[in-house]
Structure 1
Amino acid sequence: MSQAPTTSANKIDGAVLKIAGVIVLGAIMSILDITVVSVALPTFQDAFGASYATVAWTMTAYTLALATVIPLTGWAADRFGTKRLYMIALALFTIGSGLCATADSIEQLIAFRVLQGLGGGMLMPLGMTILTRAAGPDRIGRLMAILGIPMLLGPIGGPILGGWLIDVASWHWIFLINLPIGLAALVYARFALPKDSPEPSESFDFVGMLMLSPGLALFLFGVSTIPEEGTFAATRVWAPMLVGAALVVGFVVYSFKPRHPLLDLRLFANRNLTVASVSMFVFIVAFMGAGLLFPSYFLQVRGESTLHAGLLIAPQGIGAMITMPIAGMLADKIPVGRTVPFALALIATGFWTFTQVEADTSYVVLCGSLFVMGLGMGGTMMPIMTSALKTLTSHDVARGSTLLNIIQQVGSSVGAAVMSVVLTSKLNESPQIPGAVNPATGEPITEAGLAIGAQQNPDLLKLFPVDQAFIDNALDFVADAFASTFTVAFGIVLLTFIPVAFLPRKREVSHLLDDQDKDAAPPVMIH
């Protein structure tokens, strides 16, 4: 067991900040890589001559790899030690990034994205475990706020970075940029993280793994296919979702039998963890769904480039950076049930503007609303996670971190799918242009589809005898479709107030040190 020097319980010393730096580097790579690739899909279509449905697998494969490996992380952290496993995850992600840049077919790229996802899936739960143990009970809020920066800024910075790299270089650089960061993080981790002393191995739950990992992967595959199919009724959607859900339910029933299940659902006996998990899931569904809609509005309705769309969303990140350190300090001193509702109210206030959005809404108003939302986001998600982990014992932190990351991953996929389906269904209500057919798909072209395409490629208008008034009316329809979809997301934000009302409003008693020497200083790292 490695221990921190005897210092004030409330002081974050240099050793702990070094550990936080390693974790943030890994989190930045893992989270940015999801959103950076999202803006490169059209480029992949051109580079590999593949359909959109095929290149979308570069994102789906990464997500499924995450879902498969996350449940294994809690057991592996106890078995092999968090430092050793974290460095393995960094190496896998970095090697996968380098291989992605060398891909000369879409099939190779998808396969290498799986390797990336296997490493990336372990980085976040391991990072949360390491930070929670490093912080001790009195500093966890501030250090979790540090970890929250890449989690909130990834969806904002990804499109900016991806658009810029593709514009000035090539798609290869969205992967190559991870190589120097990954190598630096590996060296940094080697010296900054204390030495591991793994515990005697608990028996591995093979039965649980055969149910949970494939179950999550199948369920998320079905969910991720919804935007492509445009309906829940498609066999490619409901069949894997049904089988995956059945496997997950089977695991839930089974998990209470073994002494050491792959995912310890007994942790939900902790009221704070349960309330925080429900709050986080509902919030993530709204946040991740809206996170996709904001850049899409600027791209499809306003005709902005990917880079400009990312820059227009930046005020949200600025707002989050302002409040996140403050929220972290408050989470160490004030019960989160007294602060999170106010932060959530800021999100709802900023979100309301987008339920009324039009094709010519002022950028000042939109950016101001995003800034207000950012202020609220900085004080919401990480304090909720802090509340969940703070009352776990040190031994349970790895399992609790794994549980929260699975909830976050499922919530992200559900949010993205739901909002995509709502928006698509609204846009499909647009009238078709008589005789106009998309040569690539053979499907009829709608007025809304033509208007969206013309925003990015004005030459399309040469193929159709329509005037600017026609396009303006169609864009009004598209903007209304976005407003309706934002209204759904806004409703989910309001629903979040229900579980948030049950967050602790009294000072919590931390159990982080319960299974350690009570006379010892707060640990920097266990095993």
Structure 2
Amino acid sequence: MSAPHGKTAGPFRQPKAVWAVAFACVISFMGIGLVDPILPALAESLHASPSQVSLLFSSYLIVTAVAMLFVGWFSSRFGAKRTLVIGLAVIVVFAALAGSTDSINGIVGFRAGWGLGNALFIATSLAVIVASASGGFGGAIILYETALGLGIAVGPLLGGELGAISWRGPFFGVAVLMAVALVATLAFVPSLPKPKRPTSPIAPLKALRHRGLLTMGIMALLYNWGFFTMLGYAPYPMKLSAHELGLVFTGWGLLVAAFSVFFAPRLQARYGTAPVLYANLLGLGIVMAVIAAGVATPTTVIVAVIVSGAFIGINNTLTTQAVMLVSPVERPVASSAYGFLRFIGGGLAPYVAGKLADATDLSVPFYLGAATFLLAIPVLASGHRLLRQAEAQPEESEPVTPSFTAIGTPVAGGVPPVVVAVGAHHKAAAIVDAAARLARETGSPLEVVHVQQTAVVEEQAADTETADQALAAVTAHLDRLAAHGVAATGQILTSVGDHAAAGRALARHADQLGARAIAVGRSPRGPLAQFADGSLTTALTHSAHCTVVLVDADHLPRQLTPAALAELRGSAA
């Protein structure tokens, strides 16, 4: 529930630092589908078999997986900006080298170096863009989601256009664009504070001792096995040119981005994380089986691959949320452990698929991919209870006390409280004051609550503020109320997901308290931000079992007349 200090900026009114990282994110996300259109051309030009070409996925992803174990430690020691810059520089160098080599083994080797740069970049990009945003983290998330959508959709298109000229084109194109992003990052992104204590390099491996994290990580490994089998081998049976393959994977990428950003959170809110994942994994298994059965019919493969984008978009987002919900360790550590397992699955799949295709026929790797999607269902089911418990009570309630005691008569215990939700924006004080007056007029205790959120975008997760910032957001109001003789308590909750998830967490907390009413201010975010990142107020209104009082801080004198207060007392009773 953080928001900007001062006037609210629109999601696209951001400093140059945010735009620099967003541009780099676009190019990074392009890498997902950039090479797919040139896979057949690579095999033909370099006289390599599909199994040899598939190794450029394996080397890239396996190195990324291993590097994910150490990037948290590296970033905590050297800072987020330096980690980001080194990652970009490594990508520039190895993408250019991959385009300049004349052998498939050379490309496979240079893609491994590219994977190292990718790990350094993806581990810090979301955190940097959130920390650098001036429009609140909601605006930063929208910009990150936009970069994701552009990158996933445009990557195959650009890869197809450049690949139609030469198979070297996509590699050199990434090198040039990432070099531009590197210069912009150096010029505009400020140095960011390091964590108070560095992360242990073995912390991600230790984190896998926790059953919930390990279970969700294995489920992600199986899912990514099927995903990268499709990504690495589906271009061959389509029998299309580089340009045509680019268009096919552009359609796929558009569905990935749309279902990840807009549909996954809404399906999750309605049906729950686990049920949606069960249905989604089953859908992916069916689509993969269709590709296997129709491998000799290009049209069948093309349609199935495009349709799979919808399932993949949902799965990417909800799998990450499931990991963050059940994980008992710090977010960066959980992300590193989860990244290690999922990238291992993605890296091994193309290698094994190549061996199977060489020994049998092209349908067998796709049948195996379908089996891994289906096998992920019982793995997820083994952790169903943990996920259900975490989702039912995801907020970790942390009480907050004022710096000094209020001089006043405390409200008797057992009386239903008035809960007021606060963010770190300039109208928060007026909203808290309105809630305090409502509490006083109804003879209710007052609780000031702040929801500290972990934002999840596709397969990335980042805390939107530090624990100290969340604490300050509550303590400042408690101290100000205490100075005016108003006794109040404070709580910090946590939630994983979008603003709507924060609204549901707040509603659950109010239900547990048996609250008389929840006071919340009008969102400082515009309709675009609320549509893209969910509406806290809408989710709160739908989920809460008590009265929700919407406070318009711009019209408080009119709202808080005696008649208005009498109406509020009646509705909150």
Distance 1:141 1:500 in 2: 28
2:218 match? 278
Give 1:419 deviation, angstroms: 2.5
Give 1:330 deviation, angstroms: 3.2
Change (3 A) 1:144 1:62: same
Matched, 1:185 2:71: no
2:26 match? 25
Distance 1:101 1:58 in 2: 13
Question: TM-score by structure 2 length?
Answer: 0.57
Change (3 A) 1:359 1:53: closer
2:4 match? 5
Give 1:91 deviation, angstroms: 1.8
Distance 1:415 1:388 in 2: 22
Distance 1:402 1:15 in 2: 28
Q: Deviations over 1:465-519 (max 9, x none)?
A: xxxxxxxxxxxxxxxx52x443332222122222334244525226756743433
Give 1:185 deviation, angstroms: 1.7
2:42 match? 41
**1:290 maps to which of 209, 227, 230:** 230
Native 8 Å contact 2:65 2:339 kept in 1 = no
Give 1:284 deviation, angstroms: 0.5
**1:509 maps to which of 392, 395, 406:** 395
Distance 1:133 1:389 in 2: 20
2:191 match? 195
Distance 2:50 2:379 in 1: 38
1:122 match? 120
Distance 1:88 1:142 in 2: 25
Distance 1:8 1:342 in 2: 43
1:344 match? 281
Change (3 A) 1:199 1:349: closer
Native 8 Å contact 2:353 2:365 kept in 1 = yes
Native 8 Å contact 2:260 2:314 kept in 1 = yes
1:423 match? 357
Distance 1:397 1:147 in 2: 22
1:492 match? 372
Native 8 Å contact 2:273 2:322 kept in 1 = yes
2:502 match? none
Native 8 Å contact 1:295 1:310 kept in 2 = no
Change (3 A) 1:397 1:106: same
Report the identity percentage: 18
Amino acid at match of 2:180: A
Give 1:129 deviation, angstroms: 4.7
Native 8 Å contact 2:230 2:369 kept in 1 = yes
What pairs up with 1:167-182 in 2 under 5 angstroms? 167-168=164-165, 170-182=166-178
What pairs up with 1:73-152 in 2 under 5 angstroms? 73-103=71-101, 113=111, 115-130=113-128, 149=149
Distance 1:133 1:383 in 2: 24
2:261 match? 325
Distance 2:151 2:26 in 1: 12
Distance 1:100 1:201 in 2: 38
2:67 match? 69
Q: Deviations over 1:49-75 (max 9, x none)?
A: x99998877666545643553332111
Native 8 Å contact 1:142 1:325 kept in 2 = no
What pairs up with 1:159-170 in 2 under 5 angstroms? 161-168=158-165, 170=166
Change (3 A) 1:69 1:377: closer
What pairs up with 1:369-380 in 2 under 5 angstroms? 369-380=304-315
Give 1:332 deviation, angstroms: 8.4
Amino acid at match of 1:396: E
Amino acid at match of 1:42: A
SS at match of 2:193: coil
Distance 2:46 2:63 in 1: 22
Matched, 1:519 2:471: yes
5+ unaligned residues in a row in structure 2: which ranges?
Answer: 397-451, 453-462, 474-491, 493-573
Q: Deviations over 1:414-470 (max 9, x none)?
A: 22223223322223xxxxxxxxxxxxxxxxxxxxxxxxxxxxxxxxxxxxxxxxxxx
Q: Deviations over 1:124-178 (max 9, x none)?
A: 2223554677899999997886676489669xx54x644542432x344222212
Distance 1:182 1:44 in 2: 26
Native 8 Å contact 1:70 1:402 kept in 2 = yes
Change (3 A) 1:55 1:420: closer
Give 1:43 deviation, angstroms: 5.9
Distance 1:164 1:36 in 2: 9
1:356 match? 293
Amino acid at match of 1:125: A
Native 8 Å contact 2:58 2:351 kept in 1 = no
Whichever structure has more strand as a proportion of its residues is 2
What pairs up with 1:428-447 in 2 under 5 angstroms? none
Distance 1:26 1:70 in 2: 20
Change (3 A) 1:341 1:143: farther
Distance 1:76 1:392 in 2: 21
Native 8 Å contact 2:235 2:245 kept in 1 = yes
Distance 1:293 1:100 in 2: 20
SS at match of 2:470: coil
1:465 match? none
**2:321 maps to which of 386, 408, 423:** 386
Native 8 Å contact 2:60 2:114 kept in 1 = yes
Number of residues paired by the alignment?
396
Structure number with greater Rg is 2
Distance 1:348 1:310 in 2: 24
What pairs up with 1:407-486 in 2 under 5 angstroms? 407-427=341-361, 482=363, 484-486=364-366
Give 1:412 deviation, angstroms: 0.8
2:339 match? 405
Distance 1:276 1:139 in 2: 29
Distance 2:249 2:322 in 1: 29
Amino acid at match of 1:92: V
5+ unaligned residues in a row in structure 1: which ranges?
Answer: 204-259, 428-480, 523-527
* Larger deviation, residues 371-380 vs 97-106: 97-106
* Larger deviation, residues 505-514 vs 51-60: 51-60
SS at match of 1:519: helix
Distance 2:264 2:13 in 1: 18
1:247 match? none
Relative contact order higher in (CA < 8 Å, ≥ 6 apart)? 1
Whichever structure has more helix as a proportion of its residues is 1
2:404 match? none
Distance 1:491 1:107 in 2: 30
Amino acid at match of 1:76: F
Give 1:413 deviation, angstroms: 1.8
Native 8 Å contact 2:58 2:346 kept in 1 = no
Amino acid at match of 1:381: N
Give 1:198 deviation, angstroms: 2.0
Amino acid at match of 1:24: C
1:471 match? none
